[in-house]
Structure 1
Amino acid sequence: MAAPLKVLVIGYTWPEPAATAAGGHMMQLLRVFQQQGWPITFASPAQSGQHRLDLAALGIDQVPIALNCSSFDRFIAQLQPDLVVFDRFLIEEQFGWRVQQHCPQAVRVLETSDLHSLRQARQQRLNALLKQNPSTPGLFQHSATELYEAMAGQTLTLREVGAILRCDLSLMISSAEVALLQQGFGIPPSLLHHCPFMVEPLPAPTRTFAERRDFVTVGNFRHGPNWDAVLWLKQAIWPAIRARLPGARMQIYGAYTPAKASALHNPEQGFHINGWAEDALHVMQRARVLLAPLRFGAGIKGKLLEAMQCGTPSVTTPIGAEGMGDPWPGAVAGNAGEFATVAVALYQDPVRWAGAQARGFTLLGQAYGYATHAAALAGRLHALRSDLAGERRRNFTGALLRHHLHQSTRYMAQWIEAKRERS
């Protein structure tokens, strides 16, 4: 049996699995590591969030760290981890050179969460189209070539793809993003590992079609795509649904609800802003249909996976369904009118609803089984560790980028620290 690996995870935030899908995926990764018998230290420069999970209660060491500070050098030199996981590329930029300097033989893994540069490119494209014509149909039809061209000239893309190349392995939550990186940006398959949400089946839902009511959506309001989806729902989709279902209610839940979202609350229109749901699965199990009208974004969507677990059919866009599998457990719509039509049909038709629910259960088992993906991830990390020198020789571009960018990042961080000490 391979020796246990000492793991350091450097978090962009402290995990909040009840508030964000990224937090949920991080907890799944930590569970895989613990089941391998690997001791884990979780460090982060972030402030503690409102819904932060107590990792110490799970046997995971928690260490606050500082940005642009040599105290991290002393910390990691003493810890000497075998595996370092950077939670998003911004963390790799900040701490990657320090890990390389003090723990050169540690396996460096990037948890991408999603491609931030893809999300930004789509948002810019959406804004440009809406500026030309607010009712433009077909906002979601972008070929791989169009996506590459939209991303390639962005500074954010250069930074994010650079971090992927510098790391020994990047965890990709979406199979569509794996294809985009390989085919568009020429990233070697050896540097990427498809690791979607990893779930186990919930107990069979006990509420039937007749026992459920309301439409529902869930999402952290700090996440731009979620806020845009709520606005589009309020302005274009919900009025069309209410015209056909006058008594329908839309229940919206989300962590960190801002005043601008609370202002949309209008019970007379059946539009309810409910704030944070302590148990998102509970509210989904009571709803009949989940709506996720996402006009931009990246990765795969935790709310849609949770809906499948709860036996709740969903209506979303091509952006929402991207990389999550076929056939869809509900409906996929490309504009507001179509979205409202299929949402009403799914809400009213028990036969269509039951078929969508069954497809969701099938997709869960085929694509998101915890045991399958946990074993694949652990095996990939063990194999990488056993031939780390060879893998790095084959990734010359990554070595080149580590040399040049880490030198500049290092001197910038040291300058910031020195300036802070003088002031």
Structure 2
Amino acid sequence: MEQSKKLLIIGFVWPEPNSSAAGSRMMQLISIFQENNFEITFASPAMDSDFMVDLSEFGVTKKTIELNSSTFDVFIKELNPAVVLFDRFMIEEQFGWRVSENCPDAIRLLDTEDLHCLRTARQKAFKENRTFQFTDLLSEEVAKREIASILRCDLSYIISEFEMEILKNVFKIDSSVLQYLPFLVDEMNEKELEKLPSFKERNNFVFIGNFLHEPNWNTVQYLNEEIWPIINTQFPEAVLEVYGAYPSQKALQLHNDKKGFLIKGRAENAGEVVQKARVILAPIRFGAGLKGKLLEAMQCGTPSMTTTIGSEAMHANLPWNGFVENNPQEFAKKAIELYQNENIWKESQKSGIAIINQCYKKNKYASELIAVINNLLQNSETHRLHNFMGSLLQHHTLKSTKYMSKWIEAKNKN
């Protein structure tokens, strides 16, 4: 039997798969590494939360670490992992130099989750009421930090093909340090739809999404102010249930029984909520990455209404499992049609299955992921030799990060 290899994951937060798509993705990655004989330690400087998974139940060692502290150096030297996975670029900025200094041979991976610079630039363009341009990315401060982090790592996981293209064409990053890794789910058979609640057994529109994520909160506001009033006028008996972890007081105040706009807060079981819904509404106006809520809808046999941004990079050239509309009037009209027309609804369900089976094959992407890591473990020197910009950034920028961190640590001791 192959000897187990040590993997250290450094998390921005502890995984909460019931609260966010990022939490689900992290658990997908953990399961793939475990299936391939990796012994996993998950470390994070984050506070524990009431909704984090119990990592010990998954055979993962949990370790709380400190920012700007040499205690991490002692910990990682002792652990001596073969592979380190940084969860988001901010974590690589904090701990990357410590990893390369104390375990220089460890393969450094970055899971970007989504391109933060793309989300930030789109959000700015939206707030300034102008069209987003790719050149916006080049002046975005977050982009300078994020791209530097990608270059410093041996390999970065990119969740969206659209973002792969941006990295290669706008930022001119070599494809040898990038790997396309979408959400990973098991294939589905159309017969499985028969086990799910039928059209007649389902009711209500649903939106679901973590309120701490700005694109989600903006979507709820957009639904409340523009889209739901149109649906409510044309289809007065319609009800929209809005679910999401961490709703603010502002969000809770949008609850309106008379208009059927119901703020439900955290869903105990997101899959159950989505399965009972007839249609998911997700008129997302800015953001990046892939939308976990829309993939989950497909898995639950629930058609969805979204925008171009919502469906971006999610369905290849296949028909959407519902409709994609950007105009609020058209969005509302198609949402009602999808809700009321059983034939269109059933066809949309089948489109969702086709998308899952073509775009998110766990077996395909998992085996590619492991093959690339095994190759890196055997050829890291050659790989790093060809990533000159990465070596240069390791040499220069991490010096400044290192001394800033040491200064903070010394200051904290006084």
TM-score by length of 1: 0.95
1:347 matches 2:336: no
Residue by residue over 1:148-185, the C-alpha shift from the partner in whole angstroms, topping out at 9 and shown as x without a partner, is: x1111111100001000000000011111011111111
Shift of 1:22: 0.2
Q: Which segment is superposed worse, 331-340 or 30-39?
A: 331-340
Residue by residue over 1:246-278, the C-alpha shift from the partner in whole angstroms, topping out at 9 and shown as x without a partner, is: 100001100011111110000110000001111
Q: Find the aligned partners of 1:240 and 1:212 in 2 and give their Cα distance.
A: 22
Choose from 199, 204, 224 the match for 1:214.
204
Alignment check: 8 A CA contact 2:283 2:326 kept = no
Aligned counterpart, 2:86: 86
Q: Find the aligned partners of 2:270 and 2:167 in 1 and give their Cα distance.
A: 32
Q: Find the aligned partners of 2:292 and 2:184 in 1 and give their Cα distance.
A: 11
Choose from 183, 187, 192 the match for 2:169.
183
Q: Which segment is superposed worse, 330-339 or 392-401?
A: 330-339
Alignment check: 8 A CA contact 2:307 2:325 kept = yes
AA aligned to 1:217 is F
Aligned counterpart, 1:420: 412
Shift of 1:201: 4.8
Shift of 1:211: 1.6
Aligned counterpart, 1:174: 160
Aligned counterpart, 1:135: none
Shift of 1:322: 0.6
Q: Find the aligned partners of 2:379 and 2:143 in 1 and give their Cα distance.
A: 29
Aligned counterpart, 2:181: 195
Gaps of 5+ in 2: none
1:284 matches 2:271: no
**SS of the counterpart of 1:163?**
helix
Gaps of 5+ in 1: 131-138
**SS of the counterpart of 1:416?**
helix
1:47 matches 2:47: yes
Matches within 5 A, 1:215-294: 215-294=205-284
Aligned counterpart, 1:299: 289
Shift of 1:4: 3.2
Aligned counterpart, 1:134: none
1:152 matches 2:142: no
1:388 matches 2:380: yes
Aligned counterpart, 1:10: 10
AA aligned to 2:219 is A
Q: Find the aligned partners of 2:111 and 2:268 in 1 and give their Cα distance.
A: 26
Matches within 5 A, 1:2-41: 3-41=3-41
Q: Find the aligned partners of 2:231 and 2:267 in 1 and give their Cα distance.
A: 24
Shift of 1:50: 2.4
TM-score by length of 2: 0.97
Shift of 1:25: 0.2
AA aligned to 2:162 is A
Shift of 1:105: 0.5
- Give the number of aligned pairs: 408
Q: Find the aligned partners of 1:375 and 1:161 in 2 and give their Cα distance.
A: 26
Shift of 1:2: 5.9
Choose from 351, 355, 365 the match for 1:359.
351
Alignment check: 8 A CA contact 1:174 1:299 kept = yes
Once superposed, what is the RMSD of the aligned Cα atoms?
A: 1.2
Q: Which segment is superposed worse, 365-374 or 294-303?
A: 365-374
Residue by residue over 1:1-32, the C-alpha shift from the partner in whole angstroms, topping out at 9 and shown as x without a partner, is: 76432100000000000111000000000000
Alignment check: 8 A CA contact 2:160 2:181 kept = yes
Residue by residue over 1:344-380, the C-alpha shift from the partner in whole angstroms, topping out at 9 and shown as x without a partner, is: 1111111111111100011111111222221111111
Q: Find the aligned partners of 1:158 and 1:364 in 2 and give their Cα distance.
A: 34
AA aligned to 2:371 is G
**SS of the counterpart of 1:216?**
strand
Residue by residue over 1:28-75, the C-alpha shift from the partner in whole angstroms, topping out at 9 and shown as x without a partner, is: 000001001110000000011221000011111000000000000000
Shift of 1:335: 2.1
Alignment check: 8 A CA contact 2:196 2:301 kept = no
Q: Find the aligned partners of 1:35 and 1:180 in 2 and give their Cα distance.
A: 32
Q: Find the aligned partners of 2:83 and 2:301 in 1 and give their Cα distance.
A: 37
Q: Which segment is superposed worse, 331-340 or 80-89?
A: 331-340
Shift of 1:306: 0.3
AA aligned to 2:92 is E
AA aligned to 2:167 is L
Alignment check: 8 A CA contact 1:201 1:309 kept = no
Q: Flag the 1:2–1:181 CA change in 2: closer, same or farther, 3 A.
A: farther
**SS of the counterpart of 1:264?**
coil
Shift of 1:290: 0.3
Q: Find the aligned partners of 1:153 and 1:237 in 2 and give their Cα distance.
A: 33
**SS of the counterpart of 1:278?**
coil
Structure 1 segments of 4 or more deviating over 3 A?
Answer: 1-4, 201-205
Residue by residue over 1:223-243, the C-alpha shift from the partner in whole angstroms, topping out at 9 and shown as x without a partner, is: 000000000000000010111
Alignment check: 8 A CA contact 2:116 2:288 kept = yes
AA aligned to 1:11 is G
Aligned counterpart, 2:363: 371
Shift of 1:288: 0.7
